[in-house]
Amino acid sequence: MNALLWFVRGILFVILLGLAIKNGGDVELRFFFDASWQAPLSIVLLVALAIGVVLGLLALLPQVIRLRRSISQLRRQIPDQSTSKTTRLPIPPEL
């Protein structure tokens, strides 16, 4: 199963690489104040993907910090089982 997954990934990589090579034409991005940037289409798409990933991770950061804080508070509330002197009842035999 693992070999099949790597084979599918390899095929997908080759297809996307071919697509990037075939679409290597320059595109012009125009910004405000008459600023422009010319770059290959594949590079522009890669930069846009990277910016989207970074913005998505930054959007999740507050929730991750909040969840880690609540996990640490819950772990502090759990009593240490090695120091607790509670007596454990024996497990009754099954009938």
pLDDT digits (tens, 9 = 90+) for 66-79: 999 999 988 888 87
Looking at the predicted structure, is the pLDDT value of residue 81 above 60?
Answer: no
Residue-range domain boundaries for the chain: 44-76
Tell me what the pLDDT averaged over the chain comes to.
Answer: 84
Looking at the predicted structure, is the pLDDT value of residue 31 above 70?
Answer: yes
pTM to 2 decimal places: 0.57
- Residue 58 to residue 65: CA distance in whole angstroms: 11
Q: Which of 15-44 are b and which e, b meaning 16 or more Cβ less than 10 Å from the residue's Cβ?
A: eeeeeeeeeeeeeeeeeeeeeeeeeeebeb
Number of helices (H) and strands (E) in the chain: give both, helices first: 2, 2
Phi then psi for 10, rounded to 5 degrees? -65, -45
